[in-house]
Every structure is written in C-alpha cells, then in structure tokens.
C-alpha cells in the first residue's frame, strides 16, 4: 500500500526512474525494468500518482532456479518515499522443481 509515493511508473513524468527495487540475498538489485534474471513482474501498479489517495502495487518474484537462488529478499528500496507513506505485506513463498512431481502408477 502507498500514499503519495510512486512504486513503479510515475504517471506524471511517464518514467520508471522512481521505481521500487529489491535487493537479493546475493546483493543483486532487481527491478521491473531490468533484464532477466534481475526482473520481477508487476501484477498491479496502483501507486502511480501523488494524489493523496491510498493505492496498492503487487509484485511477483518468480522464475528459474537462478532467480530462486536470489531469495530471500534483503531490502526493498522506494526511491520516492520521502514525502509519502509505504506499507509492505509479504505473501507466501512457494518452491518447486520442474519435473519433480511425477505421479506413480497404481497397480490393480
């Protein structure tokens, strides 16, 4: 959640200069506009304007084994939070390996 803070896109300038970044366990910086494997997905960007209203931005950090090795996230950086409010809620972390969930055949 945020109020008067840009999370990803700054609608007034049309730029991503104030976009939030995440710092990973291996000290790599991840962002919405960076190249893979240093990129996260933006599922919802409701913090684009500094209009006094409460907004919500939702990020998804997922990907290949290389990306998962970057977890846990050590830092969340909001470059534009000086005059606004920011609240962070972390969701579930799910880990799985591709091809690892093969079902066994039942014998009759």
* pLDDT tens by residue, 56-107: 999 888 766 766 677 788 898 888 766 788 888 877 776 666 655 554 455 5
Give the span between the Cα atoms of 101 and 108, in whole angstroms. 22
In the DSSP assignment, the letter for residue 80 is T
* pTM attached to this predicted model: 0.74
C-beta separation of 6 from 48 below 8 A: yes
The closest alpha carbon to 51, from 84, 87, 91, 26, belongs to 84
The DSSP-derived string for 20-52 is -EEEETTS-EEETTSPTTSB-EEEEE-----SS
């Amino acid at each position: 959640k945020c109020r008067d803070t840009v999370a990803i896109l700054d609608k007034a300038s049309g730029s991503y200069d104030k976009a939030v970044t995440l710092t990973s366990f291996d000290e790599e910086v991840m962002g919405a506009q960076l190249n893979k494997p240093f990129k996260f997905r933006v599922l919802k960007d409701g913090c684009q304007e500094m209009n006094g209203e409460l907004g919500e931005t939702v990020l998804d950090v997922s990907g290949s084994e290389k990306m998962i090795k970057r977890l846990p996230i050590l830092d969340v950086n909001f470059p534009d939070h000086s005059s606004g409010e920011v609240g962070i809620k972390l969701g579930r972390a799910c880990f799985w390996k591709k091809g690892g969930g093969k079902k066994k055949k039942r014998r009759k």
